[in-house]
Chains A and B, each alone.
Chain A
Amino acid sequence: MSGYLKDKDPGELKGRAYAAAIFAAITFFVLAARLWQLQVKEARRFMELSTNNSIRLIKSPAPRGIISDRNGEKIADNRPGFDLYLVPEDVKDWDKTRQALYEMAVIEGSEIDKRLKAAKARPAFQAIKLKEDLSWDETARIEAGLFEMPGVMLEVAPKRSYLYSEAFAHLVGYIGEISEKELSEMSATRRYSPGDLTGKYGIEKSLEGDLRGADGGRQIEVDAAGRKIRDIDWVAPSPGNNTRLTIDLKTQLTAYLALKGRAGAVVAIEPSTGRVLAMVSTPGFEPNELSSGVTADKWREIVDNPFDVLTNRAIQGLYPPASTFKPIHALAALEENVITGETRIYSGPSFRFAGRDYRDWKEEGHGTISLHRAIIESSDTFFYQVGLKLGIDRLARHTREFGFGAKTGVGLLNEKSGIVPSSAWKKKALGVRWYEGETISASVGQGYMLATPLQVANAYAAIANGGTIFTPQLIEEVTLPDGNAIATFAPRKKGGLTVSEKNLKAVAEALKGVVHEQGGTAYFLSATGLKIAGKTGTAQVKKLVQRTKNIEGIAYKYRDHAWFAGYAPYDDPKIAVAVLVEHGGFGASAAAPVAREIFRAYLSDLPEDLPAVSPEDTIKASEGQAVRPAGASSEGPTEISD
Chain B
Amino acid sequence: MIDRRLLTHFDWVTLTATAGLVITGLFSIYSATHLHMPSIYKKELYWVAIGSVVLVASFVVNYSLFERYAYFAYGASIMLLIAVFIIGTSSGGARRWISLGFLSIQPSEFAKLALIITLARHLSGKVIPKKGHSAKGLLVPGALLILPFLLIAKQPDLGTAIILWMIFWSMMLVVKIRLRTIAAFMLIFGAIAPLGWKMLKGYQKARLTSFIDPGKDPLGSGYHVLQSKIAIGSGGFFGKGFLQGTQGKLQFLPEHHTDFIFATFAEEWGFFGSLIVLGLFLTLVLSGLNTAINAKDRFGFLLALGVTSMFFWHSVINLGMVAGVLPVVGVPLPFISYGGSFLATSMIAAGLLINVRMRGFIF
Q: Which A residues are closer than 8 A to B by beta carbons?
A: 2, 5-10, 12-14, 16-18, 20-21, 24-25, 27-28, 31-32, 34-36, 38-40, 42-43, 45-47, 49-51, 53, 55, 57, 59, 123-125, 188-191, 213-217, 219, 232-233, 235-239, 480-482
Contact = CB atoms under 8 A, between A and B. Distances in A.
A21 B275 CA distance: 18
A36 B215 CA distance: 30
A124 B251 contact: yes
A46 B210 contact: no
Given A7-B297, A39-B270, A238-B202, 10 more contacts: A9-B297, A25-B282, A36-B271, A38-B324, A43-B236, A46-B229, A214-B206, A214-B210, A217-B218, A238-B204
B233 A31 contact: no
Contacts of B319: 31
A239 B173 CA distance: 43
B299 A6 contact: yes
B212 to A, nearest CB: 13
Given A31-B316, A38-B323, A50 B176 contact: no
B234 A46 contact: yes
A17 B286 contact: no
A480 B204 contact: yes
Interface stretch (B16-24, B134-142, B143-151, B220-228): B220-228
B90 A55 contact: no
Nearest to B205: A238
Contact of B126 (A5, A10, A57): A5
Nearest to B228: A38
Contacts of A28: 278, 281-282, 285, 316
B93 A47 contact: no
Nearest to B286: A21
B233 A12 contact: no
28 contacts: A5-B124, A7-B298, A10-B292, A10-B297, A10-B298, A13-B175, A18-B289, A20-B289, A21-B289, A31-B278, A31-B320, A32-B275, A35-B323, A39-B233, A39-B271, A43-B233, A46-B230, A46-B232, A49-B234, A50-B231, A50-B247, A55-B230, A124-B250, A215-B218, A233-B226, A235-B206, A237-B203, A239-B203
Given A35-B266, A39-B266, A50-B230, A24 B323 contact: no
Contacts of B301: 10, 13, 17
B223 A219 contact: yes
A114 B266 CA distance: 38
Consensus secondary structure, chain B interface = helix
Contacts of B92: 190
B227 A55 contact: yes
Contacts of B251: 123-124
5 nearest A-B residue pairs (beta carbon): A238-B203, A46-B233, A217-B219, A50-B234, A10-B301
Given A7-B297, A214-B207, A238-B207, A35 B232 contact: yes
A235 B274 contact: no
Interface of B: 90, 92-93, 124-128, 170, 173-176, 201-204, 206-207, 210, 214-215, 217-219, 222-223, 226-227, 229-237, 246-247, 250-252, 254, 266, 270-271, 274-275, 278, 281-282, 285-286, 289-290, 292-293, 295-302, 305, 309, 312, 316, 319-320, 323-325
B215 A2 contact: no
A235 B126 contact: no
B233 A42 contact: yes
A314 B92 CA distance: 39
A123 B250 CA distance: 9
A191 B266 CA distance: 31
Contacts of B278: 28, 31-32, 35
Contacts of A36: 271
Contacts of A13: 174-176, 292, 298, 301
Contacts of B286: 21, 24-25
A47 B232 CA distance: 9
B206 A238 contact: yes
A621 B323 CA distance: 62
Contacts of A34: 320, 323, 325
